[in-house]
Chain A
Amino acid sequence: MTTRLHIDWTRCDGHGSCVELLPDQLGVDDFGFPVPRSGQRDPVVPRRAEDAARHAVRNCPVMALRMYDAAS
């Protein structure tokens, strides 16, 4: 079971809280939108970053984030 972070791109408005809270997982592009550093659509959230990820999900002003458990 791997925990992943899913970005709903139809909601994301490039606010940037998530990038601040998960700097190892997310960078930012030319327009202010988050870029998964691993190049995957839904980046893996390691155990040590789970609290920060939950904070990011709560903090996103447009509710564009969710965490889920994936098979891999």
Chain B
Amino acid sequence: MSATLTSALWALGRGTGVVALVLFTSAIVLGILARSGRRVAGLGRFGISDLHRAAALTGAGLVVAHVGSLLFDPYAQLRLVDLALPFLASYRPLWLGLGTLTLDLLVVVTVVSLLRGRLGPRVFRVVHWATHVLWPIAVLHALGSGTDAGSTWFRTLAAVCVGSVIVAVGWRLVPSYGGRGWAREPRRSA
């Protein structure tokens, strides 16, 4: 493989990884915004839900591109088995292993979400909570194994992502968040 192609794949791998992280961060924030039932001007509640879904699916797609380009890049030394089983890689096994975990979780979450019509709302809800585990692992993976991890721009970006999720999750836990903005009795979920 030519040197140009390898560096192109390497750049693509890094780029898709970074953008995927931003998209997943947006997905979490948008998901919490959607659950809140608050209207956002011009978008409505349905628009927030649509955006949440779009961000999540696009992020998933980018992860596929991320993994794909690194698989073909000889510099990354990624094998197929590393996509499923974590911590077996030769290059930075720990941080890469976190990426593997992210990918595994992402596959489960995405498949369950797309099949939720068949699986029912209860299964969907339980698995969906796994996104709160998925995201921190993805961040750690990015900080640990990413080539750009040491650079200022990436650290700033990571800080913004982590900060937004902390704020969003914090809001999620505040009592006034509940009831989707209406004064009502809490339901017993079916």
Contact = CB atoms under 8 A, between A and B. Distances in A.
A70 interface: no
Interface of A: 10-11, 13-17, 20-21, 31-32, 55-56, 59, 61-63
A38 to B, nearest CB: 21
A7 B180 CA distance: 18
Interface string B144-167: 000000000000000000000000
A62 B180 contact: no
Contacts of A61: 34-35, 49
Nearest to A9: B190
The 3 A-B residue pairs with the shortest CB-CB distance, nearest first, are: A32-B182, A10-B190, A17-B46
Residue among A10, A13, A21, A55 having the largest count of chain B Cβ atoms under 10 Å: A13
B50 interface: yes
B78 to A, nearest CB: 36
A15 B184 contact: no
Interface of B: 34-35, 37, 44-46, 49-50, 116-117, 120-121, 124, 179-184, 187, 190
Contact of B37 (A10, A11, A15): A15
Contacts of A55: 46
Given A59-B46, A63-B120, 12 more contacts: A11-B121, A11-B190, A14-B180, A14-B184, A16-B37, A16-B180, A17-B44, A17-B49, A20-B46, A31-B183, A32-B37, A32-B181
B46 A56 contact: yes
Nearest to B49: A59
B117 A14 contact: no
Contact of A14 (B34, B35, B37): B37
B44 A20 contact: yes
30 contacts: A10-B190, A11-B121, A11-B190, A13-B180, A14-B37, A14-B180, A14-B184, A16-B37, A16-B180, A17-B45, A17-B49, A20-B44, A20-B45, A20-B46, A21-B46, A31-B182, A31-B183, A32-B37, A32-B179, A32-B181, A32-B182, A56-B46, A59-B46, A59-B49, A59-B50, A61-B34, A61-B35, A61-B49, A63-B117, A63-B120
Contacts of A10: 190
Contacts of A32: 37, 179-182, 184
